[in-house]
Amino acid sequence: MTTARRLNDGRPSLARVVFSRRMLVALLMGFACGLPLLLTVSLLQAWMKEAGVDLTVIGLMALVGLPYTLKFLWAPFVDRFTLPFLGRRRGWMVVIQLALMSAIVTLALTDPARNPWMVAGTALLVTFFSASQDIVVDAYRREDLADEELGLGSSLYINGYRLGMLLASGGGLIMADHMPFPAVYLVMAACLLPGVATTLLTPEPETPSGTPASLKEAALEPLIEYFNRSSALWMVGFILLYKIGDAMATTMTTPFYLDLGFSKSEIGAVVKLFGFWATIAGSVIGGVLMIRIGIHRSLWIFGFLQAASTGCFAVLARIGHSLPWLAGVVTFENLSSGMGTAAFVAFMASITNKKFTATQYALLSSLMGVPRVMAAAPTGFMAKILGWESFFIFCALIAGPCMLLLLKFTPGGVEHDEI
């Protein structure tokens, strides 16, 4: 029975799902996770540049982002140990959130001009607690949402995450024109209070039976359980490749726009005005559609839309400088990318075992980031050799083999629509 029919057979209506407590929590937790991300990237870079820190040191600061890539290493602790208050997930969440706020306040008290390495060490603490918050929030979201709610819940989480990033980067830089950087960081720390309040007020999800009895079990059993599935390797391949064409094309869009003769102001205005809000809309539309058609069908539909939108850049390459076409292509690409990302994140959550949610999701989300780095590296060389039109056609076509991997998922995996 499909999700849509179940909703009509006594299950909560679509409106009740959309406006439920669980969806609001997903949105607020996304905001709390997205806000710290750029506090140690663009905003900190601006502060250090203003303080006269050497560009070499500013470049090395990118290394403080390593905890986001390595978070799967300590995720087993979250699955194994339960703190003596608020439950298995909420106890960790409130402790980590308070530690994150304290780290941001400490960062506000540092002096980049006098001691940039102290800034680096404190920023590393911020990213460690931020990545740890991601681990627990991802686990909570998977356990709090019903399977048929994962699509919309994931899309709202992603949109909350983007809004948090927007506040930290754009909002933080605007505030820095009117107040000192330390004051900006204190404001950002205070902006995490709604996340703490959400943790305290929302209920603890039901704890699954058979939670890990030892740290060894928490670290090894998630891998053993996952790779014992008949479709495990196919799903890993799918996670690595689903957005590879989109990632390759996106890496080269700015040089492409400039080559077509668009000014930096035109690019900034169109990408920010149309791109950002189209991505938000795409995530919401994708989430609502997933309630009706399921994650599996959505991956097919949204995947083909992503490929088609990438192909539209080839059309733009042939048309040349045209603001209406630029706006249309950027809108379509971001809309389809938002839908695809929502389905992708929901898919990864759906294939985790609730006994090891934190560890398995941390591993899968780390895999998700690999193509952004590996596939992006040769794109400049490819664009130079192939030319813009052929390059974007290639990026669109490379999605085909990845989509075929969906056929390999067995009914025991995620092939059915009820996920």
Q: What is the pLDDT of residues 357-396, one digit of tens each?
A: 888 888 887 776 666 666 666 777 888 888 889 999 998 8
**Could you tell me if 199 and 94 are in contact, meaning their C-beta atoms sit under 8 angstroms apart?**
yes
Q: pLDDT confidence of 1, banded at 50, 70, 90?
A: very low
Measured between alpha carbons, how far is 137 from 131 in angstroms, rounded to an integer? 10
Q: Which of 163, 180, 207 is the last residue of a domain?
A: 207
Instruction: Tell me the percentage of the chain whose pLDDT exceeds 90.
Output: 22
On whether both 307 and 163 belong to a single domain, the answer is: no
Least confident of 135-144, 270-279, 392-401: 270-279
Q: Does residue 2 carry a pLDDT above 50?
A: no
Could you say which of 207, 227, 251 is where a domain stops?
A: 207
Whether residue 188 contacts residue 104, with contact meaning beta carbons closer than 8 Å, is answered with: yes
What average pLDDT does range 344-358 have in this prediction?
83
More confident residue, 211 or 5: 211
pLDDT for position 99: 96
Structure confidence at residue 376 (pLDDT): 65
Whole-number pLDDT of residue 418 = 36
* 299 and 411 belong to one structural domain: yes
Q: Both tokens of residue 406?
A: 């969906």
Picking from 62-66, 251-255, 284-288, 415-419, which range would have the lowest pLDDT averaged per residue? 415-419
Task: Please give the full DSSP string across 103-164, using - where no structure is assigned.
Answer: HHHHHHT--TTT-HHHHHHHHHHHHHHHHHHHHHHHHHHHHHS-GGGHHHHHHHHHHHHHHH
Residues 277 and 418 both lie in one domain: yes
Residues 221 and 341 in one domain: yes
Vertex 83 angle, CA 107 and 126, to 5° = 15
- Looking at per-residue pLDDT, the higher value among 106 and 378 belongs to 106
Q: What mean pLDDT do residues 243-271 have?
A: 81
Q: Are 145 and 222 part of one and the same domain?
A: no
Burial 346-362 (b: 16+ CB within 10 A, else e): bbbbbbbbbbbbbbbbb
Closest CA to 97 of 54, 60, 135: 135
Token pair belonging to 333: 């690409």
Cα–Cα dist 295/164, whole Å: 26
Q: Is 210 left (phi over 0), alpha (psi -120 to 50) or beta?
A: left
Tell whether 195 and 317 lie within a shared domain: no
Closest CA to 159 of 34, 333, 309: 34
3-class DSSP state of 212: coil
Report which secondary-structure segment, H or E, holds 363.
helix 357-374
What pLDDT was estimated at residue 414? 42
Q: 13 with 121, same domain?
A: yes
Assess whether 418 and 269 both reside in one domain. Answer: yes
> At residue 22, what is the residue type?
R
- Would you state the pLDDT for residue 379? 79
At 5, is the pLDDT very low, low, confident or very high (cuts 50, 70, 90)?
very low
Shared-domain flag, residues 203 and 349: no
Average pLDDT value for residue range 170-193? 90
Among 207, 228, 246, residue at a domain's last position: 207
- CATH code of 172's domain: 1.20.1250.20
Q: How confident is the model at residue 372, as a pLDDT?
A: 60
Range in 9-23, 39-53, 116-130, 393-407 the model is least confident about: 9-23
Query: Is the confidence at residue 4, as pLDDT, over 90?
Result: no
Residue 3 has pLDDT above 50, yes or no: no
Q: 257-261, 275-279, 310-314, 365-369: which has the highest mean pLDDT? A: 310-314
The residue-averaged pLDDT of 275-297 equals 85
Q: What is the pLDDT of residue 93?
A: 94
**Residue 314: its pLDDT value, please?**
92
The answer to whether residues 354 and 271 belong to one domain is yes
Condensed to tens digits (0 to 9), the pLDDT of residues 55-89 reads 777 777 778 888 888 888 888 888 888 898 888 88
Domain residues for 379? 213-419
The C-alpha atoms of residue 16 and residue 19 are separated, in whole angstroms, by 5
Whether residue 349 has pLDDT greater than 80: yes
Q: What pLDDT is recorded for position 257?
A: 85
Per residue in 204-244, pLDDT (tens digit) is 988 776 777 778 878 888 888 888 887 788 888 888 778 78
Give the residue-averaged pLDDT of 259-280.
Answer: 80
Chain centre to alpha carbon of residue 196 = 20
User: How high is the pLDDT of residue 172?
Assistant: 85
Give the model's pLDDT for residue 14: 67
Answer yes or no: do 372 and 264 share one domain.
Answer: yes
pLDDT single digits (tens) 120-141: 899 999 999 999 999 999 889 8
231 and 309 part of one domain? yes
Average pLDDT value for residue range 87-100: 93
Q: How far apart are CA 233 and CA 408, in angstroms?
A: 10
Counted domains in the chain:
2
> Taking residues 104-110, what's their average pLDDT?
94
Residues 6+ away with beta carbon under 8 Å from 349: 138, 141, 142, 145, 150, 154, 361
Cβ distance 359 to 218 under 8 Å?
A: yes
Q: How far from the centroid of its chain's Cα atoms is residue 135's Cα?
A: 12
